[in-house]
Structure 1
């Protein structure tokens, strides 16, 4: 999964904990954010295939309906509302129906029969829980990659911010004692390539380092009058 590789590269450069950012379980974890069972998330992170509705032995339409319904139930079980006693509780069918523009009776029938709602009602239910329709309908690999792309974009933004801060400190070197003057062009090239996969970035960094080394050697020879 290319998005995962890019995330790992950024985490290494930023010095962040992989276990925290790529946590699978718990609120805010990859399972919670994608709507996938923990076992499926872990399998996908290992690079294993998870059968989609079209690939499963079940009827494809029925499998898609089951997926949408399962994720609606997942949302109801994991997106809880605060109550007056300080606890968090599941939303009632009446509350969900009111927010989604349907009736509690229809929702109850949907759950009992296992038939997914139409796209308009599905979008309304997803929106009620603060999600987009893609949360309910995406294939497993797509659902996880959607979450990973969001994580990657956040990390990339942080990498750019850090790069900008370093460059500003470079311009104000005299007033920035924490700047490492030895970082040089190679270090800043590495930061500029933060979003590039390692197999592409490393040869470029090596080339820049080689050019910089030759330039230093030339200056040293000139200083010696050679």
Structure 2
């Protein structure tokens, strides 16, 4: 496993371990507290994995619900508790049934664990709650790894933004473009009253370009 990509067939626990290591390294580099990136409540809500299981998996201990139906019931319950209606209330069984294209009796049986879900049931409910495919059924280590991969992408974006800001601080042209953008500069130049004023802007930009010493120039 290199460069943040795991080989096909890698066990979920190994994938999780690799993602945890990468996220930890990024957090250290950015100065983000580990308690923030590995917040149990946030990761539980994002992955559907119960908080005690998240804690165990992050510490490297084997944990998780092996039965698919039991995982489905756990995660559907979590979705109902964390993905609320705009008024802050839970979706009713009837609303879930209507949104997922099934009867209220079917929805109730699935919610209560009285009926084993099919892939069609899972897909329909995942679409209703707007979560990714596999949210309701993935093994706990895999589900947690997916949630942490989103965290990893956020941290990578923060790192890229920081590096761009640092580069802009040392580069007047880069700083100008960061502050205003090419379109912004062009728009401001277009608002000037005369060609003479616009020529001054062009002359100034030419001077700025000549003054910038780029490493590859």
> Which TM class, normalised by the smaller chain length?
0.5 to 0.7
Partners of 2:113 and 2:48 lie apart in 1 by: 21
Report 1:20-39 matches (<5 A).
20-25=36-41, 29-39=42-52
The answer for unaligned runs of 5 or more in structure 1 is 54-62, 177-226
Other-structure match for 2:157: 157
Other-structure match for 1:72: 76
Are residues 1:81 and 2:94 paired? no
1:123–1:132: 8 Å Cα contact kept in structure 2? no
Shift, 1:113, TM fit = 5.0
**CA shift in 2, pair 1:109/1:52, >3 Å:** closer
**Count of aligned residue pairs for this structure pair:** 159
SS at match of 2:158: helix
Partners of 1:112 and 1:137 lie apart in 2 by: 16
Other-structure match for 1:49: 62
TM-score by length of 1: 0.64
Partners of 1:171 and 1:111 lie apart in 2 by: 58
Indicate the RMSD between aligned Cα atoms, in angstroms. Answer: 2.1
2:69–2:113: 8 Å Cα contact kept in structure 1? no
The answer for unaligned runs of 5 or more in structure 2 is 1-16, 177-217
Shift, 1:112, TM fit = 4.1
Are residues 1:18 and 2:21 paired? no
Q: Which runs of 4+ in 1 moved over 4 A?
A: none
Other-structure match for 2:192: none
